[in-house]
Amino acid sequence: MRNRFIVFVLAVFFVTCLAWPQDLVLKGGTILTITNGTIENGTIVIKGGKIAGVGKDIPIPAGIRVIDVTGKYVMPGIIDSHSHIALTDVNEATDPVTPQIWMREALEPSSDSIKKTLAGGVTMVKTMHGSANIIGGVNVTVKLKYRDQIENMIVLDTRQQLKMALGENPKRLYGSKGRIPSTRMGNAYVMRNAFVKAKEYKEKWDRYEKEKAKGKKDLDPPEKDLKMETLKMVLEKKLGIDCHVYRADEIVWVINFCKEWGIDLLQLSHCIDGYKVPDIIAEAGICYGGWIDWWGFKEEAYDGCPYGFEIMHKAGVRIVINSDSADECRYLYLNAAKVLKYNDIPEEEVLKMITLNPAYAIEMEHRAGSIEKGKDGDIAVFDKYPLDSTSKCLMTIIEGKVCFDYAKESVTVKGGGYE
């Protein structure tokens, strides 16, 4: 009995010490709230992992760890809604239709990429299946809780998103194997055919469930098909969609396709030609996800245009800056500053492109993307204004826990590291 009690006490101790959520106070920083302007010399109180108060004269509760961030800039944790980090595998490139693949199965909590990404102020990513298949796998939205249980990393109260891809990648891969799709016509057919079958499957199951609910006995359930199960979830809007698409014609095509099938397209990824059809993207209310200045690395990327952000912003498109790269994910704030090089867009709108807008793209705007009471305590502290390109992240906080501390992990502080 006594032994059990000790074990229990120890367990409680470890859980409270190590796990999320935590309490924390950040005092004295310049707070870029994103939704409510800038607060000079402000205080943020995080209790139980949630922001309990933000403002100038917030009382600091007793017994909470207080970090003095006077002279520093405090912003919401950066979010990347198109990433491939922390995965052991990315592309199930054996079949153009693989919705049975769930990326959470490949999630690696101890992946070093999580640690390196935290150093750039990033707190949450949607880490994704690749673009080999017309219908790839189900992506997974995670908080960057390095080495935690995957159940704690995966954000549960948001819809996950199915990855789809159009254009050159599936065409090239399956075309080279002499299989369909090898043209854009084939791409369209493969996607349509999958949903035709999924609809039939769903109807079959709906009929069965209905009969069963009526109390009918001796019913044989239809055969389970894991591919179809996922697509059924898409048709039931239990999953959203993120589609990899470059060319304007295909952007329009996939928007129409998703409308036709009543499925929720939440983000257009890469979306190189977005600026050519900004009105259509804005009207559909879908997030543009892409890079600021990548171009020309393949034919469908040839019209990449860094000036396009202004065109889209004016048309009312919600713009999200993605990294699609374990490297660039670490300095999304630099890529955000580049937006200003080419476009007349207010700086607060540019900051949204790496915070609130990606939160929206992963349907997490109620919990992340700005510093507001009630939202998660996901915070990045910078030494200077984050759009100053000589700034760096000093601290990354997830749900009140300091997950990255520059002072502890930097070689720059120690002034060497080469000996």
Partner 1 sequence: MNRKKIILLAAVLFFLYPAFSHSSQQILIKNGTVIPVEGAHIQKADILIEAGKIVKIGRDLETSPSAHIIDASGRYVYPGMVALMTAVGVTGYPGAGNDLDESGVSTPQMDPFDAINPEDPCIAVTRLGGVTTVMTISGTRSPINGKSVIMNLEGRLAQDLVIKRYAAQIFNMGAKSDGKYPSTLPGVVSLIEEKLNKAKQYVQKKEGIGGDDKGEEGKENESSRFRIDLEMEALLPVIKGEVPALFITNDEVTIRNALKIIDQFDLRGVIKASKGILKYAELLGEKKIPVIWGGTTGIPGRWEPFDLNYHTAAVLAEKGVLFTFDSGGWGPESRNVRNLPVPASLSVAYGLDEEQALRALTINPAKIIGMDDELGSIEQGKTANLVIWSGSPIQMSSRICQVIINGKVIPMESIQTRLRDQYKE
Stretch that binds partner 1, among 10-18, 62-70, 133-141, 337-345 (CB under 8 A): 337-345
Q: Is 348 in the site for partner 1 (CB under 8 A)?
A: no
Give the shortest CB-307-to-partner 1 separation in angstroms. Answer: 4
When the beta carbons of 50 and 116 are compared against partner 1, the nearer one is 116
When the beta carbons of 239 and 281 are compared against partner 1, the nearer one is 281
Binding mask 365-404 for partner 1 (x = CB under 8 A): ----------------------xxxxxx------------
Report which of 136, 137, 90, 138 is spatially closest to residue 113, judged by C-alpha positions: 90
Report which of 156, 319, 159 is spatially closest to residue 240, judged by C-alpha positions: 159
Report which of 225, 300, 238, 234 is spatially closest to residue 269, judged by C-alpha positions: 300
Q: Is 327 in the site for partner 1 (CB under 8 A)?
A: yes
Q: Is 147 in the site for partner 1 (CB under 8 A)?
A: no
Report which of 104, 130, 85 is spatially closest to residue 328, judged by C-alpha positions: 85
Is-contact 307 339, C-beta < 8 A? no
Q: Is 341 in the site for partner 1 (CB under 8 A)?
A: yes
When the beta carbons of 184 and 192 are compared against partner 1, the nearer one is 184
Residue of 8, 10, 302, 346 interacting with partner 1 (CB under 8 A): 302
- Count of residues near partner 1 by CB under 8 A: 49
Report which of 62, 47, 14 is spatially closest to residue 401, judged by C-alpha positions: 47
Identify the bridge partners of residue 411 per DSSP, sorted by sequence position.
none
Tokens of 85: 């980090």
**Tokens 């919990």 found at:** 367
Residue of 47, 116, 197, 204 interacting with partner 1 (CB under 8 A): 116
Angle CA 148–150–153, to nearest 5: 70
Is-contact 275 342, C-beta < 8 A? no
Q: Is 112 in the site for partner 1 (CB under 8 A)?
A: yes
Tokens of 364: 């997490």
When the beta carbons of 362 and 387 are compared against partner 1, the nearer one is 387
Interactions with partner 1, residue window 78-97 (CB under 8 A): none
Which helix (H) or strand (E) element contains residue 28?
strand 24-32
Report which of 330, 390, 379 is spatially closest to residue 355, judged by C-alpha positions: 379
Interactions with partner 1, residue window 240-299 (CB under 8 A): 275-276, 293-299
Residue of 58, 150, 305, 402 interacting with partner 1 (CB under 8 A): 305
When the beta carbons of 66 and 334 are compared against partner 1, the nearer one is 334
Contacts of 328 (CB under 8 A, 6+ apart): 335
Q: Is 405 in the site for partner 1 (CB under 8 A)?
A: no
Give the shortest CB-309-to-partner 1 separation in angstroms. Answer: 10
Give the shortest CB-347-to-partner 1 separation in angstroms. Answer: 9
Concatenated DSSP letters of 280-307 = HHHHHTPEEEE-SS---SSGGGTT--TT
Q: Which residues bind partner 1 (CB under 8 A)?
A: 112-113, 115-116, 119, 275-276, 293-299, 301-308, 311, 326-328, 330-331, 334-335, 337-338, 340-342, 387-392, 409-412, 415-418
